[in-house]
Amino acid sequence: ELWKGEEKMSIVPKETIEVIAQSIGITNLSPEAALMLAPDVEYRVREIMQEAIKCMRHSKRTTLTASDVDGALNLRNLEPIYGFGSGGPIRFRKAIGHRDLFYTDDREVDFKDVIEAPLPKAPLDTEIVCHWLAIEGVQPAIPENAPLEVIRAPAENQIYQQKDGPLIDIRLPVKHVLSKELQLYFQKIAELTMSKSNPSLFKEALVSLASDSGLHPLVPYFTNFIADEVSRGLNDFLLLFNLMHVVRSLLQNPHIHIEPYLHQLMPSVVTCLVSRKLGNRFADNHWDLRDFTANLVALICKRFGNTYVTLQSRLTKTLVNALLDPKKALTQHYGAIQGLAALGHNVVRLLVLSNLEPYLSLLEPELDAEKQKNQMKSYEAWRVYGALLRAAGLCIHDRLKIFPNLPSPSPSLLNKGKGKVINTEPNKRKLSVDSSENRSPRKRLIATDGSDGGPSPMQVDRPTGDANPPQNSVHPSSSEQASGGNAPESRNAKENQGSKGRTITRKAILDQIWKDDLDSGRLLVKLHQLYGDRILPFIPSTEMSLFL
Amino acid sequence: MDPEQVDEFVMGYLKKKGFNSAAKQLQEALHHNNGGTFNSTDYHNDPELTKLIRSFSQSENDPTRYRDGYSKLRSWAYNSLDLYKHELLRVMYPVFIHCYMDLVGKGHTREARAFFNSFRKDHEMIHLRDLQKLEGVLVPSHLEEMEFARSLRQSKVNIKICQYSYDLLLQYLHRTESTLMLGIINEHINFQVYSGQPNSSSDDIDAVTIVGSFQETADHINQKEIQWGLLEDSLEDRLEKTGSLLSDSEKGQGESKDGDVDDSKKRSNEIGKQGSSLKKLKKDKAGNATAKVARQETSIVSPAPRVKPELALPVMSTDVEESILEDLRNRVQLSSVAMPSVSFYTFVNTHNGLNCASISHDGSLVAGGFSDSSIKVWNMAKIGQAGSGALQGESDTNDQNVGPNGRRNYTLLLGHSGPVYSATFSPPGDFVLSSSADTTIRLWSTQLNANLVCYKGHNYPVWDVQFSPFGHYFASCSHDRTARIWSMDRVQPLRIMAGHLSDVDVSVSLTIVRCVQWHPNCNYIATGSSDKTVRLWDVQTGECVRIFIGHRSMVLSLAMSPDGRYMASGDEDGTIMMWDLSTARCITPLMGHNSCVWSLSYSGEGSLLASGSADCTVKLWDVTSSTKLTKAEEKNGNTNRLRSLRTFPTKSTPVHALRFSRRNLLFAAGALSKPAS
């Protein structure tokens, strides 16, 4: 035992030699002999250890065991040291009062106890478990594989205790402590979101959420809360709306680092966009919720699209799938269209317009009042139609907006522009009036039940209203796109529609650009074929004049 | 310096040393001749030597001189100009170890130890392992006994150094008259002075080569010609020749081409069975070869040259051949953009007993060699079929130690009487060879699940055994410093590759061979050893034909590229080196692992190298870019050494074995090292 202990020491003192000599019965060892032996003992021990390390390497291990030392002794034709080959690493204890003396804990065992002890459990037999470490170079996230970020952590936390106690100590994960104040704050916000009784207070809460610093520790709780409540409260329209407001406030807060939680948040948000049913009453204006969420989604994409490269592509994939699945409800289609539209005109052009024609042919029977007797369905169909029209219109408008030197907008023109928009409506009404005339009884039903179109007792106005919202919402959404002055320009363009003469001088320049942009031209022709005149309000007058 | 003065010094020296009779003789000789002796003229023009002699006559036995001289030289080197510093610092290590060994050699154990400990930190970073070895040397007899120390004292170190640094060093040594240091430097360092600016990279691999005269020998050996090409008429060759082999007509041609060859092969096989000599076989082969060479000339040039086998190769049965061809045809093309899939076999409940693992060429069989002398073979294909078997993972490892059908899932092979250090499958997977600490190699049949042959020949534990790429032959290496070539049908080895170099009288015989690997054309084997070198041996002549120097620690694993052009070797520190076999130069060191590299494997077409390490990762390296970039590197001198493509961490499982299947699926195996809770 003592001999084992000396391996740890850098040099063998002669006292050790004397002690060992005594222990094997040599009492008359001269001090000189001990002094001479000491360096040689050290050399031999080192030699043995060197061999032992080689044995360890050949056993493809990185920890030295007693059996390696035995193997090394065997290689030198020496008697192995018996009694240490337990397989596992040996635990050494420090001798009290000595700096560098260690011994193994070798307790006395009563023979009777050993005999009477029940048989130990048979050791488990060796087995092989097979799994994919990588599939075509990518590591699948299965329990058999090491999670990537955890890889380094244990190495840092490991504390090697070479003396007493366990060899390795792995620290437990640190508990996350929330201050009392934060807990209260969270509870209050959650209550407000759930209760829906105090809208003004809730608004203030939202402001606080959007601006207060120090809320970061609550983010995981909020994301969890939102995910839970959305999945549970799909029938509760107001709750959903409140939750989406909370999401927006969290996104707006500059002190919150929300990125790591986006993956938890996104499903809830997308649910509020494309779920089949949001809320359980007719009065619930889930269209609004969808519009709001669509803008939220666009906001997220804009902010985190750079860091999460796959974010937008995954999102658009989900939305396009929802849109192109004819089995999905029209409400879901609406949400998908709004979501895509909010992502910008490029997305619309690539994903919506390319599928526009087949989709409209599918939608046609729904729109036709004679074929679709279900009032509700028909309403939804018109809503979807409107959303599509708006998306397509905005897209084409943005395409055509490239033309540079249009006159700068002025507030007075803007006001006039609004009037113009209404002026274009009769175009639409033409088509919708005849379709809506023979469904007046049911129309009234909706009109009374629906709270959104409050001042619309007139049945004839309904369909107009249906087609209208998209147009009215042109303003907020195009300003959302925030490329500065889009909205005024569009208004301006519409204003110009009335006074073609003013811009006719630019025809030559525009003509040139127009030719360059054949794509837009074709698109416009296509859209016109599909939509008829209804696309025209979206088209700046100059271009329209060219087109016509 | 006067000749009288010289004589005076010599006299003083001799008297001091106690060579009284020699001193007397010298005195007599001086009286007889009038001073114009040959020895004095010799010393005239050599100031270094006179100084050296003078130093001998001075306080010869003072051990503190070493310490003083070294520490002065050291502080001078550390304070030298930054541009030349790294070159001058290279000189310090050889001076350090020789100072230490001189001190030990003169019996100043205590001073030697103090000297060693005070300066050891300087060199630990690069030379830790050598220092650990030397640390134990304490009395003069150890110097004699320890081969490493002996070889160090008898050889010179080559150091590349620029002209200016060299001048600086000499100037310093002369100015300070530190003759002791000068003596050591003269005795043990061989400067390779080059003109121009010093090399910018401070860690140039070739800059310092420790074993100097050995280096010359190695250079000499590396001049020998080797034919690294693939075997002509190998399956790969045939596949290349006949293109994709998809159309039947083409295939028919290929067969008719090889028809006569096959016939003669069969004939030779029959002869072999009757036990006729190898020579006859060789004649047969040679006859074929000439015929084939003629045909070869007409065929289109392929990238790797073709060589003829020097061993009579076993004949494959046609259906085995067909299946291999089928595999080769279906091989997935891998590159730096097309990564392989990796299937991992985890050994659980090994209780720290798994010493080695091996995977058959198709990945269906896995063998483990254990420290309790047993070998266990799993048939993964069967387990897969059983469905509920081990594939389902943890559930069946927790509380049952028998398979789903109430029996063990593996075949237990018992026969060895010591830890099993290596196991290898024959290419078709019908045999397993195992080597053990009981000095034997055993051949097992996987069909009969029984031991067939026990090969006794080594005198010490057999560390590694490897089947040749065509089966039948195998190579082994052992602690007895030999590598041996065997054939399955003989219990005596065919060749013994002894560790020393036969043609030169060099004392370096510390080649304790650690691992062995066959060249794809079967004409060569490579051995990695604890002296940090890798050697290539000609199987037919038993000669060492290449020595690869560059590793800084024990070489643990070897792999040959499928085209036979390159070799990869992995060492204890985690460094992998890629070697060009023909030039014996390191193409690129691949750094990335931080622990022992247990296993290496090239992908089927040689574009990727996989490495498995004790740091619980499998890494993929881009071979093509590694080899290409060095050409550019040679031009502009910059080195970007990391060309690691992927790292796959395992769940605390050191990777013991790796194998690319013929279809380029990568199999890996290792033992879960967490203690079972």
- How many Å lie between the alpha carbon of A103 and the closest alpha carbon of chain B? 23
Query: Which pLDDT does position A370 carry in this prediction?
Result: 65
Question: Which chain A residue is nearest to residue B656, measuring alpha carbons?
Answer: A60
- A402 or A443: which leads in pLDDT: A402
Instruction: Return the residue in B397, B400, B417, B555 with the most chain A beta carbons within 10 A, the one to mutate for interface testing.
Output: B397
- Which is more confident, B558 or B627? B558
For residue B136, list chain A residues with Cβ-Cβ distance below 8 A: 42-43, 45-47
Could you tell me if residue A397 is left (phi over 0), alpha (psi between -120 and 50 degrees) or otherwise beta?
alpha
CB atoms under 10 Å from CB of A457, counted, come to 11
Task: Give the phi and the psi of residue B383 in degrees, each rounded to 5.
Answer: -60, -40
**Two structure tokens written together for A224:** 């969890």
Residue B36 above 60 pLDDT?
Answer: no
Distance from CA of B120 to the nearest CA of A (A): 14
In the prediction, which pLDDT does A464 show?
39
Most confident region among B203-212, B385-394, B422-431, B499-508 by mean pLDDT: B422-431
What is the predicted pLDDT for the residue at A89? 62
Report the mean per-residue pLDDT for chain B. 74
Partner residue opposite B356 with nearest CB, options A60, A129, A151: A60
**B284 pLDDT band (50/70/90 cuts)?**
very low
pLDDT in tens, A409-426: 444 444 444 444 444 444
Is the pLDDT confidence value at B431 over 90?
A: yes
Interface test with A, best of B120, B401, B573, B677 (most A CBs within 10 A): B401
User: Is the pTM higher than 0.90?
Assistant: no
- Is the Cβ pair B651, A145 closer than 8 Å? yes
Nearest CA in chain A to B671: A128
Give me the residue from B142, B394, B668 closest to A43, CB to CB.
Answer: B142
Q: Give the residue with greater pLDDT, B156 vs B210.
A: B156
**Per-residue confidence (pLDDT) for residue A88, from 0 to 100:** 59
Least confident of A529-538, B282-291, B643-652: B282-291
Smallest Cα distance from B136 to chain A, Å:
5
- Dig out the tokens for B480 from the structure: 């007895």
Q: Distance between terminal CA atoms of chain A?
A: 104
Give me the mean pLDDT over the B301-322 stretch: 73
According to the per-residue pLDDT averaged within each range, which of B137-146, B208-217, B287-296, B574-583 is highest? B574-583
- Out of A57, A131, A132, closest to residue B596 by CB: A57
Q: How far is CA B215 from the centre of its chain?
A: 15
* pLDDT value for B398: 38
| Contact: B136, A87; criterion CB under 8 Å | no
Which are the contacts of B480, defined by CB distance < 8 A and separation ≥ 6?
A: B458, B459, B460
Q: In whole angstroms, what is the distance from residue B490 CA to residue B473 CA? A: 10
Give the least confident one: A307-311, A400-404, B344-348, B659-663: A400-404
The candidate with the shortest Cα–Cα distance to B536, out of B501, B572, B503, is B501
Which has more pLDDT, B220 or B633? B220
CB contact under 8 A, B401 and A124: yes
| Closest-CA distance of chain B to residue A77, Å | 10
The pLDDT assigned to B208 comes to 53
What is the rounded average pLDDT for all residues in chain A? 69
Coil, helix or strand at residue A521: helix
Percent of chain B with pLDDT over 70: 71
Distance between A67 CA and the closest CA of chain B, angstroms? 9
Query: CA-based Rg of chain A, rounded to a whole angstrom?
Result: 39
According to the model, what pLDDT value does residue A373 have?
A: 65
Q: Which of chain A's residues have a Cβ under 8 Å away from the Cβ of B410?
A: 126, 128
A135 CB neighbours in chain B (<8 A) are 341
Residue B475 — left, alpha, or beta (φ > 0 → left; ψ -120 to 50 → alpha)?
beta
- A486: exposed, middle or buried (Cβ count in 10 Å: 0-12, 13-18, 19+): buried
Q: How sure is the predictor about B3, in pLDDT bands with cuts at 50, 70 and 90? A: low
Mean of pLDDT values over B381-400 = 47
Phi, psi of B617 (to 5 degrees): -135, 155
Query: Which residues in chain A are closer than 8 Å to B650, comparing Cβ atoms?
Result: 133, 145-146
Question: Is the pLDDT at B276 greater than 50, yes or no?
Answer: no
Residue A280 has pLDDT above 80, yes or no: no
Where is mean pLDDT largest: A362-376, A512-526, B344-358? B344-358
pLDDT tens readout for residues A49-81: 888 888 888 888 888 888 888 889 988 888 888
- Judging contacts by C-beta atoms under 8 Å, the chain A residues touching residue B556 are 57
- Based on the number of CB atoms within 10 Å of its own CB, is B311 exposed (0-12), middle (13-18) or buried (19 or more)? buried
DSSP secondary structure string for all residues of B471-535 = SSEEEEEETTSEEEEEETT-SS-SEEEESS-TTS--------EEEEEE-TTSSEEEEEETTSEEE
Across A426-448, average pLDDT:
41
pLDDT exceeds 90 at position B528:
no
Task: State the average pLDDT over residues A419-446.
Answer: 41
Q: Mean pLDDT, to the nearest integer, of B463-475?
A: 89
Q: Pairing state of beta strands B666-671 and B342-348?
A: parallel
Interface probe, candidates A121, A133, A149, chain B, greatest B C-beta count within 10 A: A133
Region B353-377 average pLDDT: 91
pLDDT tens digit string along B111-133? 888 888 888 888 877 777 788 88
Bigger pLDDT: A252 vs A470: A252
Say whether pLDDT at A6 is over 70: no
When comparing pLDDT for B438 and B287, which is higher?
B438
- Residue A9, amino acid: M
What pLDDT, on the 0 to 100 scale, is given for residue B425? 93
Q: How many CB pairs under 8 A join A and B?
A: 179
How far does A314 lie from chain B, in Å, by closest CA?
A: 23
Least confident of A25-39, A304-318, A396-410, B290-304: B290-304
Closest alpha carbon within chain A to B571:
A57
Sorting pLDDT into bands at 50, 70 and 90, what band is B367? very high
For residues B48 and B537, which has the higher predicted lDDT (pLDDT)?
B537
Residue B516 pLDDT: 82
pLDDT score recorded for residue B299: 36
pLDDT of residue B359: 93
Average pLDDT (B342-367) is 90
pLDDT tens digits, B617-676: 999 998 877 665 555 444 444 444 447 788 888 888 899 999 998 888 999 999 988 643
- The beta-carbon neighbor of A124 closest among B383, B397, B556 is B397
Q: Given pLDDT bands bounded at 50, 70 and 90, which one contains residue B104? A: confident
Which chain A residues are within 8 Å of B350, Cβ to Cβ?
Answer: 126
Q: Is the Cβ–Cβ distance between B223 and B559 less than 8 Å?
A: no
What ipTM goes with this model? 0.71
Q: If you average pLDDT over residues A378-402, what whole number do you get? A: 75
Q: How far apart are CA B526 and CA A236, in angstroms?
A: 74
CA distance B650 to chain A (A): 5
In percent, the amount of chain A with pLDDT more than 90 equals 0
CA distance B194 to B162: 5
* pLDDT, mean of residues A19-38: 84
Cβ-defined contact of A133 to B391 (cutoff 8 Å): no
> Quick one: average pLDDT of B561-585?
87
Q: Identify the pLDDT of residue A122.
A: 81
Nearest to A503 by CA among A403, A394, A402: A403
pLDDT at A520 over 90: no
What pLDDT, on the 0 to 100 scale, is given for residue B668?
93
Q: Do A146 and B355 touch (CB under 8 A)?
A: no
Confidence of residue A29 (pLDDT cuts 50, 70, 90): confident
**Do residue B421 and residue A58 have CB atoms under 8 angstroms apart?**
yes
Report how many helices (DSSP H) and strands (DSSP E) chain A contains, helices first: 26, 5
Show residues of chain A in contact with B352, CB under 8 Å. Answer: 61, 65, 87-88
The pLDDT-based confidence of B48 (bands split at 50, 70, 90) is low
Of A142-151, B112-121, B577-586, least confident by mean pLDDT is: A142-151
Q: How far is CA B154 from the centre of its chain?
A: 23
Q: What is the pLDDT of residues A445-476, one digit of tens each?
A: 333 343 343 343 343 334 433 444 444 433 44
The pLDDT of residue A518 is: 54
Would the CB atoms of B348 and A127 count as touching at under 8 Å?
Answer: yes
**What's the whole-number mean pLDDT along residues A526-543?**
62
The minimum CA-CA distance between B131 and chain A, rounded to whole Å, is 12
pLDDT band of A1, cuts 50, 70, 90: very low
- pLDDT higher at B625 or A253: A253
Contact B345 A128 (CB under 8 A): yes
B332 or B613: which leads in pLDDT: B613
Pair B492, B457: CB distance under 8 Å = yes
Paired tokens of B540: 């037919």
- Contact list in B for residue A71 (CB cut-off 8 A) is 419, 437, 461
Q: Hey, are the CB atoms on B651 and A146 less than 8 Å from each other? A: yes
Selection from B474, B536, B510, B484 nearest residue B154 by Cα: B510
Are A128 and B348 a contacting pair at CB < 8 A? yes
Q: Do A46 and B135 touch (CB under 8 A)?
A: yes
Residues of A with Cβ-Cβ distance to B356 under 8 angstroms: 60
How do strand B566-571 and strand B555-560 relate by DSSP bridges?
A: antiparallel
Q: Verify whether the Cβ–Cβ distance A148 to B649 is below 8 Å.
A: yes
Determine the pLDDT at residue B378.
92
d(CA A448, CA A438): 18
Asked whether the beta carbons of residue A126 and residue B463 sit closer than 8 angstroms, the reply is: no
Question: Is B512 within 8 Å of A132 when comparing Cβ atoms?
Answer: no
Best CA proximity match to B455, nearest among B469, B441, B435, B474: B441
What is residue B452's predicted lDDT score, i.e. its pLDDT? 93
State whether A130 and B344 contact (CB < 8 Å). Answer: yes
Query: What per-residue confidence (pLDDT) applies to B290?
Result: 40
Q: Do A134 and B339 count as a contact with CB atoms less than 8 A apart?
A: yes
- Residues of chain B with Cβ-Cβ distance to A138 below 8 Å are 339
Query: Where is pLDDT greater, at A86 or B300?
Result: A86
Flag if B397 and A59 touch (Cβ within 8 Å): no
> Quick one: average pLDDT of A537-542?
58
Which residues of chain B have a CB within 8 Å of the CB of A151?
649
List the single residue in A with minimal CA-CA distance to B136: A43
Contact B572 A139 (CB under 8 A): no
